[in-house]
Amino acid sequence: MNNMGNVDTSQVIGIDLGGTAIKLGRFTADGNCLQSVSVPTPQPSTPAAVVDTIVNAMPIIDPQGDSKAIGIGTPGPVDGTGRIAIVAINLANWHDVPLADLLEAKLNLPTFLANDANCAGLGEYWLGAGKQFQNLILITLGTGVGGAIILDGKLFTGHRGAAGELGLITLNPDGPTCNSGNQGSLEQYASVSAIRRRTGLEPHELGELAISGDEKSLKFWQAYGKDLGAGLASLIYVLTPEAIAIGGGVCASFDFFFPAMQSEIERRVLPSSREGLQILRAQLGNSAGMVGAAKLAWSLVL
């Protein structure tokens, strides 16, 4: 067999490390997922317990030992080298954890880390809504508001690895206090928590009411779209992406907030800064992080 054949058969592992589950997938270079498995995150989820869980899952996900590298999305900031998990949300005792070193020592495979939202952005760029584009923003509307920036086909993380906190930009200087220390951040208007605070209802309840034609809910989604559009306008002016992919649980009501969001962007952003801009629903759902982690791993191999 020639070398080309060998390249085609090499594989990597993408891992999405979450507070309740660890998802692992084995991928080929063209994005084919050969196998995936989800294992419960150990409780308490200390670094040592998480490393053991990943090590124990490797014979299941890669029984033949075909993988050449590992990429991991972690729920929190990663250092600029992609080797240390600075903090991890919903995991116990995670402070400056050298996760790449710990796994490399046990598995002897090069390992690279990125924030889970960045991995989701890479996943959408590689195999999801963003695969036709080289310049893409992903924004995730979930418990918080996260994001990722792809510039010229590469994940942009800034000089210290912390760039792309798209939900923490200021929308209203005098708005509600944010966990980040900011006030009136986009997250305080667009997250699930913000929707609960503003309405007393869950997003899916507001979505069901809107489907039934409830006027109050329809008005809420219009106001929500307007706020989101105003936040995205700032990002568009700075980054002029070809596309924005919108993911997260709130997207179930995409059709109700999209028109107001679109018209707010058109009102606020000069045509020269949004020419050809496409705003799309993210496509990969809960697997985006695992897919993007695999793409991260390929960057170590290719």
- The mean pLDDT of 226-234, rounded to a whole number, is 98
Residue indicated by tokens 């995730």: 140
At residue 2 the predicted structure's pLDDT band, cuts being 50, 70 and 90, is very low
Looking at per-residue pLDDT, the higher value among 262 and 143 belongs to 262
> Residue 206 has which token pair?
């507001």
d(CA 173, CA 258) in angstroms, rounded, equals 25
* CA distance readout (Å), 69 to 24, 111, 259, 289, 301: 13, 6, 43, 16, 7
Q: Which of 55, 41, 68, 152 is nearest to 102 (CA)?
A: 55
Contacts 24+ apart (CB under 8 A), 131-135: 132/243, 133/241, 133/242, 133/243, 133/278, 134/242, 135/239, 135/240, 135/241, 135/242, 135/243
Q: Which of 126, 164, 149, 73 is nearest to 283 (CA)?
A: 126
- The mean pLDDT of 207-224, rounded to a whole number, is 98
pLDDT tens per residue, range 63-76? 999 999 999 999 99
Predicted pLDDT of residue 90: 87
pLDDT at 232 over 60: yes
At residue 43 the predicted structure's pLDDT band, cuts being 50, 70 and 90, is very high
What are the two backbone dihedrals, phi and then psi, of residue 86, each rounded to the nearest 5 degrees? -70, -50
pLDDT tens per residue, range 102-126? 999 999 999 999 999 999 999 999 9
d(CA 37, CA 22) in angstroms, rounded, equals 8
Neighbours of 88 (CB within 10 A): 25
Per-chain mean pLDDT for the chain: 94
- pTM assigned to the model: 0.92
Predicted pLDDT of residue 8: 56
pLDDT at 5 over 80: no
